[in-house]
Amino acid sequence: MQKRDREATRARLLEAARLRFAREGYDATSVRDIARDSGVDATLIFRYFGSKKQLFDLATAADVPAGLLDGPQEELVARMVRTVVEHDWTAYGGEHPLVAMLRSSAHEDARRRIRDEVCATYVDALRDLAEGEDAELRAELLSAWMVGIGILRSVVATPALAGASAADLDPHVAAVATALLGRPMSGAVAPAGER
């Protein structure tokens, strides 16, 4: 094992950048902060990534949990809520990356990336489930709920939601998803064996 390991250093910088950008947003994060966290010199950021902006783009690139779209349709919303509430996002400061990226939403680039990912990952899948007239709108309203839950949980830290587990939310997930999609939805995710 080398002491000087380009790839390892690059990876450490990327990891530190992910954490900083998620926690504090683009503007409040300096390249010196990231370098200090990684224990290396700040100039390596420019050597390896070109610019702060390019590092940001790389560090906040989408990272959709595998298996979100697998499994029973009636549990899709419950699975999505679980990626917000239970998934291990410690690499992003403990928040869903989309929620974290909202801190940088002053930049149109970041907004567009958020929009693309929200639509591609959540709205598109939900639209197929919604039946009836304005499926798109209802899919977006459900996506809005999950984004809002993520924000109130971690950013705003509202008392009950901050401490709620996915199981606490299950019955309400079922009620809202059923009401919005117009078809019976489950609030819990059944273990693989029971499928």
Partner DNA sequence: TCCGTAAGTCATCGAACGCTGACTTGAGTG
Partner DNA sequence: CACTCAAGTCAGCGTTCGATGACTTACGGA
Of 28, 61, 167, 190, the one binding a second copy by CB under 8 A: 28
Binding mask 2-41 for DNA (x = CB under 7 A): xxxxx-xx-------------------xxxxx------xx
Q: Find the part of the chain contacting a second copy (CB under 8 A) among 6-14, 25-33, 44-52, 187-195.
A: 25-33
Stretch that binds a second copy, among 44-52, 69-77, 102-110, 185-193 (CB under 8 A): 102-110
Could you tell me the two tokens for 78? Answer: 């419950």
Residue 103 or 127: which CB sits closer to DNA? 103
The residue (of 17 and 169) whose beta carbon lies closer to DNA is: 17
149 binds, among DNA, a second copy, none (CB under 5 to 8 A by kind): a second copy
Give the one residue of 161, 166, 185, 189 binding a second copy; rule: CB under 8 A.
Answer: 161
List of residues 6+ apart from 94 with CB closer than 8 A: 154
Q: Which is nearer to a second copy, 67 or 159 (CB)?
A: 159
- Residue selected from 67, 159, 184, 193 as contacting a second copy according to rule CB under 8 A: 159
Question: Which parts of the chain are beta strand (E)?
Answer: none
* DSSP structure string for the chain: --SS-HHHHHHHHHHHHHHHHHHHHHHH--HHHHHHHHTS-THHHHHHHSSHHHHHHHHT---PPTTTT-S-GGGHHHHHHHHHHTS--GGGTTS-HHHHHGGGTTSHHHHHHHHHHIIIIIIHHHHHH--STTHHHHHHHHHHHHHHHHIIIIIS--HHHHT--HHHHHHHHHHHHHHHHTS---SS---GGG-
Q: Does 52 bind DNA (CB under 7 A)?
A: yes
Rounded Cα distance between 118 and 140, Å, is: 9
Which of 33, 48, 71, 148 is in the footprint of a second copy by CB under 8 A? Answer: 148
Q: Which residues bind a second copy (CB under 8 A)?
A: 23-25, 27-28, 102-103, 105-107, 111, 114-115, 118-119, 123, 134, 136-138, 140-141, 143-149, 151-152, 155-161, 164, 168-169, 172, 175-176, 178-180
